[in-house]
Amino acid sequence: MKHCPLAILVLTAALGGCAVQVAKLEPGRAQPTEVSERGLWFASRKSEQSVAISGRRVKNPRLEEYVAGVQCRVSAAYCPEIRIYTMQIPDFNAAMAPNGFEQVWTGLLLRVENEAQLATVLAHETAHYTLRHALEQFQTTRRTANLLLATQLGLLFGGIGVISAGPVGFSTGNIGQLIAMGYLAAYSREQEAEADRHGFELMAKAGYAPGEAAKVWANLIEEQRECALPTPPALFASHPPSAERLQSLRQLAERSGRSGITGRSDFLAATLPQRGKWLRMELATRRLCRVRVLLERLIEQGENLGELYYYRGELYRLRGGTGDFERAAEAYRKALDYPSAPVATHRELGRVLWRANRPIEARQAFRRYLKMAESADDAAMIGAYLERLP
């Protein structure tokens, strides 16, 4: 039996189990064949229309072409039916809808280290798609919720509204209600584990280094541990526990006996030009511990160190705790040892030195900034700063 929420185990036992099995999706299928799936595809198309014109979409054809290329490499025969959109959202996430439309968020692109790790996540989403986990979850949920309705348990969710049941079950308009009830919001642990296994085979078969798969989750575990991020209770977790997932992928890699590429150089060529913008978005969330862990990992990798030390300075400047302005000044100065340091490093160094009551050094930093960016939009403001400094 697949994982089922504890609150409804007793009720679903009367139906002989929680999970509904569906057949694997065949490549090239243009339209859904089941009534329930038609509703899911309709909702997916509406969502895709919004995503396609969203202001959060990354407007960089080279990057989108690169990510789509990696997706095609792992999805093979399914490639023609998958449409991928890269979204400027500072969280680790990728998701594929039942109709083959997929989102990849920039927070993910910041946290994977190479193409093989990106392929791991995309292959995992391909597995959800080809195994039709969304339909399986929807039908399981509909079956369960129909029983809940019969027992009038829906009265507990008075703010959600009436859930209509019938020979077909829930209509497309009821999907939001199901999500609100928490049963369609995510895949089951068993589905996630199945997608991990199937996705691993897809990425390894595509020629990627199998050992990179586990590293994706190892990095996330580190971020979670360092920043004491909350995790849902294991009983209600929609994903396998991270340590369990990590161990499973390591075992798969050990047993595979395969070698492969990491694709780091191609990955960097596609992502480095955008990385500064993505780091600014991460800082804007004010989840500074997570950004600190991310920056430490990126600095250890060693590309564009001037840019990375600049953003470390920005992190300390925004945090503004005891000694943070001194730490920010140190990071900015270190950034200036590298040619990749943004011109704005001089300006921000001047600001923190001013806050640290070091006016002579602040004046020098502001003057260097104006010399290098004399046509900058904030040149007049920096000039006003200089007039106020002793």
Of 273, 290, 325, which closes a domain? 273
Count of the separate structural domains present in the chain: 2
- The answer to the question of residue 285 being in a domain is no
Is residue 203 a contact partner of residue 194, using CB atoms and an 8 Å limit?
no
- The answer to the question of residue 279 being in a domain is no
241 lies in the same domain as 379: no
- The answer to the question of residue 248 being in a domain is yes
Phi, psi of 102 (to 5 degrees): -130, 145
CA 309 to chain centre: 23
259 lies in the same domain as 344: no
- The answer to the question of residue 290 being in a domain is no
Q: pLDDT tens digit string along 36-60?
A: 778 888 888 888 999 999 999 998 9
pLDDT at 10: 37
48 lies in the same domain as 134: yes
258 lies in the same domain as 371: no
54 lies in the same domain as 188: yes
Rg of the chain over Cα atoms, rounded to whole angstroms, equals 25
Q: Kindly report the CATH number assigned to the domain that includes residue 368.
A: 1.25.40.10
2 lies in the same domain as 128: yes
- The answer to the question of residue 289 being in a domain is no
Q: pLDDT tens digit string along 122-139?
A: 999 999 999 888 878 777
269 lies in the same domain as 310: no
Whole-model pTM over 0.85 = no
358 lies in the same domain as 220: no
Whole-angstrom Cα distance, residue 42 to residue 48? Answer: 10
Q: pLDDT tens digit string along 145-162?
A: 554 444 443 333 333 333
Is residue 134 a contact partner of residue 98, using CB atoms and an 8 Å limit?
yes
Q: Which amino acid is at 228?
A: A
261 lies in the same domain as 321: no
205 lies in the same domain as 98: yes
231 lies in the same domain as 368: no
pLDDT at 236: 40
Of 258, 273, 288, which closes a domain? 273
Whether the CA torsion 226, 229, 235, 239 is positive or negative: it is negative
259 lies in the same domain as 383: no
Closest CA to 346 of 361, 366, 375: 366
Domain of residue 115, residue span: 1-273
- The answer to the question of residue 145 being in a domain is yes
Angle, nearest 10°, between helix axes 212-226 and 288-301? 140
Q: pLDDT tens digit string along 4-24?
A: 444 433 333 333 445 566 777
Phi, psi of 101 (to 5 degrees): -90, 135
Of 231, 251, 273, which closes a domain? 273
- The answer to the question of residue 287 being in a domain is no
Mean pLDDT of 269-276: 97
- The answer to the question of residue 355 being in a domain is yes
